[in-house]
Amino acid sequence: ETGVTQSPTHLIKTRGQQVTLRCSSQSGHNTVSWYQQALGQGPQFIFQYYREEENGRGNFPPRFSGLQFPNYSSELNVNALELDDSALYLCASSSRQGWVTEAFFGQGTRLTVV
Amino acid sequence: AQKVTQAQTEISVVEKEDVTLDCVYETRDTTYYLFWYKQPPSGELVFLIRRNSFDEQNEISGRYSWNFQKSTSSFNFTITASQVVDSAVYFCALSEASFGNEKLTFGTGTRLTIIP
């Protein structure tokens, strides 16, 4: 196990609703990244948070937003859900102490939008 | 823009056979990092290896080995004497070498099935 935990593990929402996904990073890690993985695809970078500020964003609309808390845990919020938002959402934590290090992933939250 | 291509969508081999997973990447950066991750059915991405673009030495870790060839922009992964537990989806990924930047660009993955 990586020590990165995500909740909930599964979620079903209706189109137009809002959802919040949560991630607790591995102890000692100060950077959290979120990825969306559609069925049969590789993960796509959504955004990254470092010391409570967004630090890099992928090609996702503003209705995807996030937060990082002082304990380095994080939330991903998605507003106005669309059917195409159905995916596995992965959180990864890493320690920003130098050049690129390995990111440790949680088991993900599988979101289904109906 | 960065891009990772894993042309092999699915591979099936009989247990104990060797198997190589291909990865080709594109980047304009002169310094970058390459990764391989394993994704079992549980969904969690398991880190296997990180390699920076300055280090073209091949690496071996038990039954796993990696061949990095900068000239062909490839970073291939070989499993020797495959086992059923190796069945999973494997992803190759690329990251720019910015300080503390862990943004990963993933390929579409290769589903590996080891037949007992």
> What residue type is B73 in one-letter code?
S
* pLDDT 10s digits, A48-105: 998 888 888 999 999 999 999 998 899 999 999 999 999 999 999 987 665 556 788 9
Q: What are phi and psi of B41, to 5 degrees?
A: -55, -25
pLDDT tens column, B18-76 = 999 999 999 998 889 899 999 998 888 999 998 888 888 888 889 999 999 999 999 99
**Count of alpha carbons within 13 angstroms of residue B40, beta-carbon side:** 10
CB of A70 within 8 Å of a chain B CB? The answer is no
d(CA A29, CA A97): 9
Evaluate if residue A19 carries a pLDDT over 80. yes
Q: Which residue of B has its CA nearest to A94?
A: B102
- Predicted pLDDT of residue B84: 96
Highest mean pLDDT among A18-22, A48-52, A90-94, B100-104: A18-22
- Residue B52 has what pLDDT? 86
* Residues in CB range of A95: below 8 A, 6 or more apart: A28, A29, A30, A31, A101
B106 and A108 within 8 Å at the Cβ level: the answer is no
Distance, CA of A78 to CA of A87 (rounded, Å) = 12
Q: How far is A108 from chain B (nearest CA, A)?
A: 7
Q: Is the pLDDT of residue B97 over 80?
A: no
Q: Name the residue with higher pLDDT: B97 or A3.
A: A3
- How much is the pLDDT for B81? 97
